[in-house]
């Protein structure tokens, strides 16, 4: 499959708009129905699939690399998120499932941190910025080794994960190489101040090299 983001920008816009319009047209009767809210967990994967290219092109999804996105990038806060089904289809092959996918995803999370560190070092970003990630699968030990403070996520992130549990399940299963249920009810928050992250640069670079 040709990488979508290698296409000319005009072609990307055309595909993204057509995908969004057709997708919403298909979804609208279900969402507008009497049980629309109850169907959200079933509809969420499809909604994400048809909307991701558009949200990237308008700048709502800001990609730190092909596997890590952010919706908030200010001097006060940077948030980190997993990518969606569309990005898995673009970036992965079926043969990548399992250990290879795990290594790729983990390496790019560390690369995203390196990108943030470089922005701080180049004075493009305040060293007081708070970098925050929410997940159900990261290692507390690794996060704390890198200086992150780990805590239980707020109610919003727990509800969000519950609504997204179908997509989370099959993407998690892909990275595990087998059917696996993620503990989406056990979402945790990891946070660190930019100046503290910079101090961990050598450790993070070492982790990227080990996963290369």
Is residue 124 predicted with pLDDT exceeding 90? yes
Answering whether pTM is above 0.85, one says yes
Is residue 209 predicted with pLDDT exceeding 70? yes
Is residue 68 predicted with pLDDT exceeding 90? yes
pLDDT tens, residue by residue, 33-51: 777 677 888 888 999 999 9
**Cα–Cα distance for residue pair 119/73, rounded to 1 Å:** 11
pLDDT of residue 2: 52
Domain ranges of the chain: 1-59, 61-211
Bridge partner residues of 69 (DSSP)? 63, 81
pLDDT of residue 35: 74
**Average pLDDT score over the chain:** 91
**Cα–Cα distance for residue pair 112/130, rounded to 1 Å:** 14
Which contiguous run of DSSP H or E holds residue 133?
strand 130-135
**Cα–Cα distance for residue pair 136/187, rounded to 1 Å:** 4
pLDDT tens, residue by residue, 139-153: 778 888 899 999 988
The number of angstroms, rounded, from the C-alpha of 148 to the middle of its chain's C-alpha atoms is 18
What tokens appear for 174 in the block?
């892909």
């Amino acid at each position: 499959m040709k990488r979508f983001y290698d296409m000319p920008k005009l072609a990307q816009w055309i595909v993204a708009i057509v995908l969004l319009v057709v997708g919403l047209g298909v979804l609208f009767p279900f969402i507008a129905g009497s049980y629309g809210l109850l169907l959200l967990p079933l509809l969420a994967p499809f909604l994400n699939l048809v909307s991701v290219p558009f949200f990237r092109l308008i700048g709502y999804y800001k990609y730190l690399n092909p596997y890590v996105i952010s919706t908030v990038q200010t001097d006060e806060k940077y948030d980190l998120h997993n990518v969606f089904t569309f990005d898995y289809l673009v970036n992965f092959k079926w043969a990548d499932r399992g250990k290879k996918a795990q290594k790729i995803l983990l390496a790019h999370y560390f690369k995203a941190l390196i990108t943030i560190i470089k922005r701080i070092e180049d004075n493009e970003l305040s060293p007081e910025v708070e970098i925050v990630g929410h997940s159900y699968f990261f290692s507390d030990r690794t996060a704390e080794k890198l200086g992150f403070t780990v805590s239980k996520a707020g109610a919003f992130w727990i509800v969000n994960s519950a609504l997204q549990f179908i997509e989370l399940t099959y993407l998690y299963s892909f990275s595990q190489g087998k059917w696996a249920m993620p503990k989406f009810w056990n979402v945790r928050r990891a946070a660190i101040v930019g100046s503290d992250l910079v101090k961990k640069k050598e450790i993070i670079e070492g982790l990227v090299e080990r996963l290369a």
